[in-house]
Structure 1
Amino acid sequence: MSLAIPPAARDALEAWLTHQRAIEGASAHTIRAYTADVTGWLAFLAGHLGEGYGLKRLASVPHADLRAWMAHERARGLGARSLARSLSAVRQFTGWLAEREGVDATAVLSARGPKFRRKLPRPLSEADAKALLSTVAEDAAEDWIRARDLAVVTLLYGCGLRISEALGLPGTAHPLPEVLRITGKGDKERLVPSLPVARAAVARYAALCPFDLASGVLFRGARGGPLNPRLVARTMERARATLGLPPTATPHALRHSFATHLLNAGGDLRSIQELLGHASLSTTQVYTAVDGARLMEVYAKAHPRA
């Protein structure tokens, strides 16, 4: 942390980060991002104000100083998406600090971030997803590795798991129950139904796996250690090359496909949000945009312009 930052501000940041870990359940990745974003803000203020600042001054920064910081960040090459993330962290920290110090933080809390176009998820079609599942394990050298790779991708598509969630399943998860208890981002738990095809795929892998699954993780590498997610990505790369699919056909695209296909089948957003483990419904709503974008593509093909 920069030495230019006043000690009281450094201590306040550490207290806020502790609050985020203990009370809000923020993940290690989120804490690293918060630390970098807010540290940059505090260091900028130290240089911008040209003097040490107290906590009340920090919590009640005016619009002019906030705009100066945002201009500084853009000038050093920070993109709109990254700046919006940094501003979100600064707002959260400032709101927490203002409540502690009893000051008005309206200027910061009401600040709007830069506009940017959110990238839409790139799900696979149902036909391509099924083709991937039948192709993904074809190149594996051993039966148990073929069964393992198929089980992993079936969980990603059939249950909407993140790759880290699938590979983090303990060996005791076998036999797979009808409802999985998944620990996701921020150590938040959610319940996800497991389809019969997923339970069968995991059962076949466990029966063929040469390693004892009673302890440790469920999915193992060739030498018995935890399966590296990069190996799953490479398996997907080979499968999509065989099928002629685009580079966007990644392991995470199977999670996107799970959500999009559920929505297309009439699933409601709130239920899909719970299944995916999204903290905010707005995160899940992006799949409605995907559905709309695909509809427009179909319309454009059916009604080409002259």
Structure 2
Amino acid sequence: MMLRLGLLPFLVVAAVLANDPQQIDQPNKSEEMMEFQKRLMTSVEATNDNLKRLARLFYEQMVNTRKLAEEQQKNFNSTNQRLAEIAQLSNDQHKQVAEELRNLRNHANETNQKFINLEKLVDNRHNESLENVKHVGQKLDKSAALAMHHYQLFDFIIRYPVNCNLARSASLTQLSNGKKYLFLTTGGTWTQVREKCAKKGLQMITLKNMNDHNLVWQKIKELLGESYYWVSARNTGNSGQMDYRWQDGSKLELNSDLWKDNANKAHECVEMKYGSNNGKLSGETCNYSGSKSVCELPSECY
């Protein structure tokens, strides 16, 4: 009812001018006026039907987006298992996998651009109906953000193909927790260090408890000396949210004892801090190139 009343003044003038401008000056022609009113109501109903179809289109796109997110979550374990079996990929094959991932990112960006274009289309509608359409658009944006978050999390925790023979050939150091590590003497950005570990068949270090942390930090001081060291944890949250995840997808809780006091949690990547922090964790910009790291043997290779 509100939609019809909002469009009525505009449609009255438009229909009169389009069909018979003389009707404004001839209010006594009751039969013609009734016929005009019928045509007007038909036009209003058609406009209302168009808006309903637009709302249904938005709803169907929201449902499809949610289904995509659910399918990505269901297929995650099988996808990770498939990647683990590709141990003998050549360099050209690895580049092809990286290209496929870039295409997925581009597809996600194109999808987001479509939502933006739809919002611009809605902005051209009548002012009074705009608020209702924007409400639908906001729900779609939330669904798109959720789907993008699932994709980013999937893209982060996906690992390079495991090559246990290559990994075991590295100069690994076994600590009393039973795990084997490689202490890198060179550093770089977070991504560069991740690739250095991957080229040796290893993965960036993941610290699940203080016992592992203390053992690794003590060995770091013995072999390399105190410095900054990247760990595999990274913030996968959207829009300022803090959702730190380890390489295997498990959550690094914000209240974990692994964080140093007053740790900076505003950056995307995480490193171990030297000095009075005793190697405890704090956030750091991922492009910082002054940090080293420790690689560890994947669990599949023990």
Q: Give the TM interval when normalised to the shorter protein.
A: under 0.3
Which structure has greater strand proportion?
Answer: 2
| TM-score normalised over the length of structure 2 | 0.23
